[in-house]
Chain A
């Protein structure tokens, strides 16, 4: 089948693909396409390194930056209980190395923001985008297993999300594998399930990556991944795997394409509803907001963890928020928190990493979102989507067009 023209551009852009190697296909989340792609790219030295997440248990995954195809093979499968953001881990990697990274939309957006800040050379990074319905905090996953599934969390060996259900596979009596599935919608009505950031996340397809891979649009029961080719870079790494015979590819049918688009829209609508529902400040007056922010942020113990994990903050320990912060002051809200809010208003991608690590459980996702969504709407700017854009806070000229025009005439 002739899928590649002489310019390396793919026509059409939608495929169903899977690993030719049966072992990889069986182990992968949806046919092992991503794993086969990375393994073949390493073997042919198309890339130097891959950054993947290796399963320790259903509740723990470790990111590994490796040039060893065997390690990549072991990382096959999707871990929904591992809410890592991989962006900052790429900083460990020398900029001249070519790296392949499977990225959820929030990983890809973080990487693009770091690239804007000259921390990552994006030309050398292959973003193998994964569609994303969301992640569950590992501790919440354990609670779910114990309280709603009635299982000893440590006996759960595998977790899977299929057709709106979270399915747990566990070792039952006599060692036989058994499974139990509950509807995610129902879990979430009871305040369980995915992280708040994921419930409200409207970026369901990694459209800013080089490829977008997922199971939406794949006919039921088929071990294949739906792949959209988004850039020439994506086409090139796919071509590399095809030439090596590592993957098998067929054109996606019109129906597959339509189903995927339909699910995406439904997920976005659901996320928009969650966003409203989780925003406890919607109906509050300014003074109630101030009371909420001070009350919540006064619990901060200034551990700095939220800054350290934030995938769009490129500052080291000489950062302004840390420098100007004085623990002895009697400020209602610390300068540390206010400066983080200010500096991220144009760039926060609402990934929720900050909240995940906060030892005193300050609702940082909501707080950062309240400020940044307003600023980003004002700027008509979406961070993490296009590496050629400069973060507006660092711009000299105003971004919004009306003012930009007046500033030009004023400047003359």
Chain B
């Protein structure tokens, strides 16, 4: 069973113009964001190559969050459409691979939605706590 004290490691890719700014604002407002999250800032969710997500899992992340501007608000015209398209592929891949699909999340979060970012991290932390450590942690190459 999962150890009650166990804290998951969650990797979040955040777009500079929206979710990163949102997370930053949440911090400035002194809102609690669980310490389970590790944020990597990118200039646009379109920069999040699916390889980064896979690498996150292979490195032992218990969940990976892909975040970006709301559809229509991307600063690079339509790059977040591509993000969403790739995410559909990743979702099917992650599931067939045998990881719980909840471990991969796509969320659109604007710069003013810091509280939503904090809530999302909390929500995913809770979900992943129930799921336990990523099975990839126990199958390192011998």
Of all chain A residues, the one with the shortest Cβ separation from B90 is A342
**A368 → B minimal CB distance (Å):** 11
In the bound complex, residues from chain A placing their C-beta under 8 Å from that of B50 are: 339, 342
In the bound complex, residues from chain A placing their C-beta under 8 Å from that of B55 are: 324, 335
Q: Which of B72, B78, B92 contacts A412 (CB 8 A)?
A: B72
Q: Mark B44-73, 1 if CB is under 8 A from A, else 0.
A: 000001110011001100000000001110
In the bound complex, residues from chain A placing their C-beta under 8 Å from that of B78 are: 396, 411
A-B contact count (CB 8 A): 95
**B103 → A minimal CB distance (Å):** 11
Q: Which of B58, B85, B98 contacts A290 (CB 8 A)?
A: B98
State in angstroms the CA–CA spacing of A61 and B93 once bound together. Answer: 37
**Contacting pair A345 B92 (CB below 8 A):** yes
Does A2 belong to the interface (CB within 8 Å)?
no
B: contact size bracket: 20 to 34
Within 8 A of A (CB), among B79-135: 81-82, 84-86, 88-90, 92-93, 95-100, 135
In the bound complex, residues from chain A placing their C-beta under 8 Å from that of B96 are: 289, 370-371, 374
**Contacting pair B82 A396 (CB below 8 A):** yes
In the bound complex, residues from chain B placing their C-beta under 8 Å from that of A274 are: none
**Contacting pair A287 B81 (CB below 8 A):** no
Does B141 belong to the interface (CB within 8 Å)?
yes
Q: Which of B81, B135, B136, B141 contacts A396 (CB 8 A)?
A: B81
Does A250 belong to the interface (CB within 8 Å)?
no
In the bound complex, residues from chain B placing their C-beta under 8 Å from that of A371 are: 92-93, 96
Give the total of A residues in contact with B, Cβ under 8 Å.
Answer: 39
Q: Which of B89, B97, B99, B141 contacts A393 (CB 8 A)?
A: B89
In the bound complex, residues from chain A placing their C-beta under 8 Å from that of B98 are: 285-291, 293
Q: Mark A382-412, 1 if CB is under 8 A from B, else 0.
A: 0000000000110111100000000100111
**Contacting pair B89 A338 (CB below 8 A):** no
**Given A374-B96, A398-B88: A290 touches B135 (CB 8 Å cut-off):** yes
**Contacting pair B100 A290 (CB below 8 A):** no
Of all chain B residues, the one with the shortest Cβ separation from A338 is B54
**Contacting pair B85 A374 (CB below 8 A):** no
**Contacting pair A410 B71 (CB below 8 A):** yes
What is the interface of chain B, defined by CB distance below 8 A to chain A? 49-51, 54-55, 58-59, 70-72, 78, 81-82, 84-86, 88-90, 92-93, 95-100, 135-136, 139-141
24 contacts between A and B (CB under 8 A): A286-B99, A286-B100, A288-B98, A289-B96, A290-B97, A320-B51, A330-B140, A330-B141, A331-B141, A332-B58, A335-B51, A338-B54, A339-B54, A342-B89, A371-B92, A371-B96, A375-B89, A375-B93, A393-B86, A397-B85, A410-B70, A410-B72, A411-B72, A412-B72
